[in-house]
Amino acid sequence: MKKSSGSVRKFCGTWFFVIILLFVHSLLLGYAATRHSPTALEGPLLAAGVSHWELGRYELYRVNPPLVRMVAAIPVMLTGCETNWTRFVDGPRTRPEYSIGSQFIEINGKRSFWLMTIARWACIPFSLIGGLYCFFWSRELYRSDISGLIAVTLWCFDPLILGNGELITNDVAAASFGLVACYYFWRWLKSPSWTNCIIAGFIFALAVLAKTTWLFLFGLYPIIAILWFGIKFWRGELIIKRLTIVIIGTKIFLMFFIVLWIINAFYGFDGSFEEYGSYSFVSKKCSIIDNKNPHLASLPIPLPRQFLIGLDTQISDFEHFGQMSYLAGQWRDRGWWYYYVYGLLVKETHGTQILLLLSIVSIFCWKKNRLSLDEIILILPALSVLFIVSSQVAFNTHFRYIVPMMGFIFIFIGRMTLFMEQKMIWKIVVAFLIFLSTISSLSNYPHSLAYFNELSGGIKNGHQHLLHSAIDWGQDLTYLKEWLDSHPEIKLDGLAYHGGFEPSAIGVDSPKPPLDRNSEMGANKTDLMEVGPLPGWYALSNNSLYSYDKNYEYFQKFKPVHVVGVTIFIFYITQEDANRVRKELGLPVF
């Protein structure tokens, strides 16, 4: 009886910490959602989500499935919003959602910030699901509540999860559903019942509807199944007969059938099973019909039309070399295979990095703690995500593509309990590293999207490593508006802002700063007194200041007088300072 009572207290204590962690996580996401302006993609995403409900059409933002943005749009539809679809156009590689998203914010004005906030709040449960299943899987895998608590703690306070989880973008939802899908597939492997098969198929469908990245599971699941049952048979733990193979194969087929049925049903079976030849694909990978493959033209495709067109458009974007990529201070017209590995080195907390390294080292330290088959099943999806995103070397712009693998990493770090069983010192070390990771992340909150770790130089020097959505995605316009309101004596003479809408939509009116004479656009200026620098007050976001087009490169010769949020720099240039730099650049002075 005493043992049972102690187990109940332990169970209740564990769940108390899990609930507290997830509650704090939701508060962190909820508050951050109120502080940041719509990022470059959120206007288009929200407008697209509204269009799905209002028009019953899925052309807008079809490069990703509509699940997340439709959830985000629910409270917006309930409270009411202004819409205008006159900018809609359709055609190969067209992306009308950007202009429509900008227009959506313009016509809703300052109220669009409130609409974006409630849309973000609607997406918080996606992140909570990810944290909860980090706990479930790590606890079950390592047979330890402590392992589960380690995993959920790392999820709840990780800057990548916090920074992207506050937004209505797909990344954290995809990370959560992809993790849950793999978890239930693992449970199906351990107990391949029809019920587990149906559950695994249903969650797999949600993962794909969150982001098309998880389509690779159609290829990975059979490989994992062969690996799992093959090793079990080789070890003598399982007797596999011909009938057993047929049943297992049938269940995997049923699982995939459920996935495809749910995807098609979500789109209302719009264009499902149309012949391959009826599409005008723009990507090389999808355009495989030629004189040598005429039989493919009549092949029915078991996917909705807009889903497939969106996938084709996304693939085409990744095939298109020539887009400028940035890494470690270098711009070039292609990407790097190690872009995401480098990003993890500079944007993940040192505490988590060390914990991951120790977890890997522990595999080789003790024979009894070697990598298990269950852990291989855990690691394979994470490595697949890393391989897929790293293989897209046409260009590198968004480090956030790595987010779907993070939950698997946190679960794997749960194996640190194997260290903790050795000596008390390891319990102290693990606790300290988790504390270090949490403090490092929260010290930059609510600016988690722009987080860079200490050895990389922090947010202040983040531009030396990565740009675009890794640091400046237009999220700090709210802070600029507040700063300008608190300094009514200051009127901006120029604003270069990296976002998805015109700042004037919320009352920040300012022309563009004067161009740099050495930029492509500045070279067209015939009157050299019109190019910069010129005296006045200016605000430039991080991406504008360090952009490859060098439109405002001369601002790097001045020291900002203030930083708004963490990504918008305020410059005050006196006539004396302007003339000094103009002389350096060979420009006429005032």
| pLDDT-wise least confident of 230-239, 324-333, 553-562 | 230-239
Assess whether 358 and 262 both reside in one domain: yes
Q: Distances in Å between the alpha carbon of 373 and those of 94, 360, 378?
A: 45, 15, 9
Assess whether 428 and 514 both reside in one domain: no
Collapsing DSSP to helix, strand or coil, 18 comes out as helix
Q: Is residue 555 part of a domain?
A: yes
Q: Are the beta carbons of 495 and 538 closer than 8 angstroms?
A: yes
Domain limit, last residue, from 442, 459, 489 = 442
Name, in order, each residue with C-beta under 8 angstroms of 287's C-beta and a sequence gap of 6 or more.
281
Write phi, then psi, for 332 (nearest 5 degrees): -155, 170
Strands 494-496 and 536-541, sheet pairing: parallel
Tell me which residue has tokens 């706990």: 135
Assess whether 259 and 361 both reside in one domain: yes
Please, which pLDDT band fits residue 290 given cuts at 50, 70 and 90?
Answer: low
Q: Is residue 452 part of a domain?
A: no
Count Cβ atoms below 10 Å from residue 187 Cβ, excluding itself: 17
Q: Is residue 469 part of a domain?
A: no
Domain count, the chain: 2
Domain limit, last residue, from 417, 442, 467 = 442
Assess whether 526 and 381 both reside in one domain: no
Stretch 12-28: mean pLDDT:
94
106-134, pLDDT tens digit by residue? 999 889 999 999 999 999 999 999 999 99
Collapsing DSSP to helix, strand or coil, 440 comes out as helix
Asked whether residue 320 carries a pLDDT value surpassing 80, the answer given is: no
Q: How far, in Å, CA of 368 to CA of 361, rounded? A: 13
Give the chain's length: 590
Domain limit, last residue, from 388, 415, 442 = 442
Asked whether residue 47 carries a pLDDT value surpassing 90, the answer given is: yes
Asked whether residue 7 carries a pLDDT value surpassing 70, the answer given is: no
- Find, among 460, 485, 443, the residue nearest to 563 by Cα: 460
Question: pTM of the full predicted structure?
Answer: 0.93
pLDDT at 479: 95
pLDDT at 448: 97
253-279, pLDDT tens digit by residue? 999 999 999 999 999 999 999 888 888
Tokens of 282: 């723009």
Asked whether residue 435 carries a pLDDT value surpassing 70, the answer given is: yes
- Find, among 267, 543, 542, 217, the residue nearest to 382 by Cα: 217
Domain span including residue 171: 2-269+336-442
pLDDT at 1: 43
- Longest CA–CA separation in the chain, Å: 90
Tokens of 43: 């206007």
Q: How far, in Å, CA of 379 to CA of 13, rounded? A: 29
| pLDDT-wise least confident of 22-36, 141-155, 435-449, 575-589 | 575-589
b (16+ CB within 10 A) / e for 124-147: bebbbbbbbbbbbbbbbbbebbbb
Assess whether 151 and 14 both reside in one domain: yes
Asked whether residue 318 carries a pLDDT value surpassing 90, the answer given is: no
Q: Is residue 315 part of a domain?
A: no
Write phi, then psi, for 36 (nearest 5 degrees): -110, 140
Assess whether 394 and 514 both reside in one domain: no
Asked whether residue 11 carries a pLDDT value surpassing 70, the answer given is: no
> What's the chain's average pLDDT?
91
pLDDT at 516: 87
Q: How far, in Å, CA of 528 to CA of 13, rounded? A: 70
Residue type at 211 in one-letter notation: K
Assess whether 343 and 420 both reside in one domain: yes
Assess whether 438 and 481 both reside in one domain: no
Q: How far, in Å, CA of 298 to CA of 279, rounded? A: 11
Stretch 39-48: mean pLDDT:
94
What share of the chain in percent tops pLDDT 70? 96
Stretch 200-216: mean pLDDT:
96
Asked whether residue 232 carries a pLDDT value surpassing 80, the answer given is: yes
Stretch 194-221: mean pLDDT:
96
Q: How far, in Å, CA of 355 to CA of 94, rounded? A: 44
Q: Distances in Å between the alpha carbon of 330 and those of 131, 152, 324, 335, 397?
A: 36, 36, 10, 11, 13
pLDDT at 291: 46
Assess whether 57 and 200 both reside in one domain: yes
Q: Is residue 318 part of a domain?
A: no
Q: Answer positive or negative: Cα dihedral of 553, 558, 563, 566.
A: positive
What share of the chain in percent tops pLDDT 90? 70
**HSE-CB for 584 with a 13 A CA cutoff:** 13
Q: Answer positive or negative: Cα dihedral of 26, 32, 35, 41.
A: negative
Q: Distances in Å between the alpha carbon of 171 and those of 214, 330, 498, 561?
A: 11, 26, 20, 35
Assess whether 92 and 220 both reside in one domain: yes
Higher pLDDT, 59 or 8: 59
pLDDT at 393: 85
Higher pLDDT, 289 or 450: 450
pLDDT at 527: 72
pLDDT at 362: 86
Q: Is residue 562 part of a domain?
A: yes
Assess whether 226 and 125 both reside in one domain: yes
Would you call 14 exposed, middle or buried from its count of C-beta atoms within 10 A (0-12, 13-18, 19+)?
A: middle
Please, which pLDDT band fits residue 91 given cuts at 50, 70 and 90?
Answer: confident
Q: Is residue 290 part of a domain?
A: no
Asked whether residue 533 carries a pLDDT value surpassing 70, the answer given is: yes
Assess whether 531 and 425 both reside in one domain: no
Q: Distances in Å between the alpha carbon of 517 and those of 280, 410, 509, 510, 528?
A: 43, 49, 24, 21, 8
Stretch 77-88: mean pLDDT:
91
465-514, pLDDT tens digit by residue? 999 999 999 999 999 999 999 999 999 999 998 888 888 887 888 889 99
404-428, pLDDT tens digit by residue? 999 999 999 999 988 787 788 888 9
Q: What is the side-by-side order of every strand in the sheet holding 494-496?
A: 494-496, 536-541, 568-573, 562-564
pLDDT at 294: 67
Name, in order, each residue with C-beta under 8 angstroms of 382's C-beta and a sequence gap of 6 or more.
405, 408, 409, 412
Q: Is residue 150 part of a domain?
A: yes
Please, which pLDDT band fits residue 292 given cuts at 50, 70 and 90?
Answer: low
